[in-house]
Structure 1
Amino acid sequence: MPGYMLKGTCHCGEAGWTLETVPKSVTACNCTICRRYGALWAYGYDGFDIQTTGQTNTYQRRDSGDINFHFCAICGCVTHFIVCSEDENGRKRAAVNVRMSDPAPISALPIRHFEGHDSYKELPGDGRMVKDMWF
């Protein structure tokens, strides 16, 4: 969809992101960190289809050390993550927390459930959409 842009900001509005692609779904992961953050992720590449703004602090995963989670330096909302290493095309995989966006444009997107705690596998869909997980 040409010109499509989804935007998200933290609670105080100091940190944010834009996603310049139409996500087909978002991911809920139950790994040790994502389940604590309660994030719903939409994926892209840092500096390509994901642009970020504002001052963030980072937390690097302790177990694998390959992902930096970014959160607003003022209000603490988790806005996005960026994988530390580049892929074969010199890009860094990234994801934005769609819970930072307006619900209307993404409410009907299906939720992909990823078992990131034990098996590291995608689980079968259960029909839930973003609008089913706002609470």
Structure 2
Amino acid sequence: MKGHTFEPGRLIAGATAVAVAVGYGLDAAGTWDPHPLVLLPALLAGLVLAALVTALTHAARRNRRRAHQSDQPAPPPLGDLPMASLREGHEALRATREHRQEAPGRGRGAAPGTGGGKTPGGDGSGDGVRPTGRPGP
């Protein structure tokens, strides 16, 4: 299993939440009597600190990643791509598809050799002759 990256902002947020929970727990047990306006602002301050640390961590990692990427060679410019051969292949494929669609007697989904017509002959003429040359049923 791949290890997770260290997130200091989450550590601070978790520690703040645990500290506030312990404060309220001690207050409920009667051991400590904090001022009512101490724990909630402490939670708010801890979450703001966690957000700042997270933003700084993200910026540092982004800068490090960009510096690492600048060491690698740049990809080839677009002018080096074989666009003419790609266009020729695309046009040939398109011409093949158009030729198939324009083929006489071939409907959509027709099996090879059936002609795909609606008449018993399959060629759409209605004469009852099959494309093989044999008379229809």
TM-score of the aligned structures, taking structure 1 as reference length: 0.18
Instruction: Give the number of the structure whose alpha-carbon radius of gyration is greater.
Output: 2
Of Structure 1 and Structure 2, the greater strand share is in: 1
Of Structure 1 and Structure 2, the greater helix share is in: 2
TM-score of the aligned structures, taking structure 2 as reference length: 0.18
